[in-house]
Amino acid sequence: MIDLEILRAGPESGDILLLIHGINPVSPKAPFVADLARTRRIIAPSHPGFGASPLPPDFDTMYDLVNVYLDVLDSLPGTRIAVAGFGFGGWIAAELAVAGHPKLHRLILIDAVGIKIGGREDRDIVHMFNTNPVELDRRAWHDPAKRPAGIYGLGWQAAIGDDMTDDEMIALARNWDSLCLFAWRPHMFNPRLKDWLHRIHVPTLVLWGESDRIVTPDYGRHYASLIPDAVFETIPQAGHHPELEQPAAFIASVERFLS
């Protein structure tokens, strides 16, 4: 198995929640991590090429990442593991669920990308690489002025300041370089994924920030409609990162679903 940087939190035993991060790895400082860890064991790897996880020289496709997470599920104890994916990580989680794994027990997709719902000229997903950083920031957050300081989510370019360390700058550059490798073209989606979402046969929650303008709630509703019996919920006053803008509401939705 490939070496991965892994954030662990919560009790050493008990129900496992595997977090699959978006552009930036899950931060141990994010309040929602500690809140989730009160009731369950949190496992949050950094994808190959992200954070401190090495990038194997032959890795360059989404399916390399999916197979890594199939290996992760193999390695985890227990037989009933919940998986939650954020944004780009939601795409990975959806692909993982389509591939299937006997340990995958429940699935949560948070403002996920990964599918194309409009026509060829329709922009379903705001372009991560060609959008002005200030505009990306505006679209990603319900209230950009209240975004957490540090390496969190989209729009980080607009938050760069003198208090950001060299190591943080290097990590950001590495994360975005790797995102380009895996998701530049087609931009943030698999043309075939929507045709296979019907193969997801675990209870699924599709959770969305009401103010998300990276991928809108309508995109999320369409996503949910393609997964058998999926539940779709929105979180008010939250954009692309409801776990960061409205952690209490986010935790309540997740705990209600997992319970």
What is the mean pLDDT, run by run of 10 residues, along the chain of 259 residues?
Answer: 93 94 94 94 98 95 97 96 98 98 98 94 92 89 83 66 78 92 96 97 98 98 98 98 96 97
Tokens matching residue 223 = 């996503």
What pLDDT does residue 120 have?
Answer: 82
Taking residue 169's Cβ as centre, other Cβ atoms within 10 Å add up to: 12
Q: Which residue reads 């980080």 in tokens?
A: 156
What pLDDT does residue 171 have?
Answer: 86
Q: Which residue reads 């300081």 in tokens?
A: 149
What pLDDT does residue 161 have?
Answer: 63
From CA 249, how far away is CA 238, in angstroms rounded?
A: 10
Using only the alpha carbons of the chain, give its radius of gyration.
Answer: 17
For the whole model, what pTM was predicted?
A: 0.96
Strands of 16-20's sheet in order across: 6-9, 41-45, 16-20, 81-86, 104-110, 204-209, 231-235
From CA 89, how far away is CA 244, in angstroms rounded?
A: 15
Query: In sequence order, which residues have a C-beta less than 8 Å from that of residue 88 and are 6 or more positions away?
Result: 21, 22, 23, 113, 179, 183, 188
* Four-point Cα dihedral 137, 181, 226, 112, nearest 10: -30
From CA 81, how far away is CA 18, in angstroms rounded?
A: 7
Enumerate the H helices of the chain as residue ranges: 31-36, 62-75, 88-99, 133-140, 166-183, 193-196, 217-225, 242-245, 247-258
Which of 97, 111, 89 has the alpha carbon at shortest distance from 24?
89
CB 85 within 8 A of CB 91: yes
From CA 247, how far away is CA 236, in angstroms rounded?
A: 11
* In CATH, 6-258 is 3.40.50.1820: yes
Tokens matching residue 146 = 């209240």
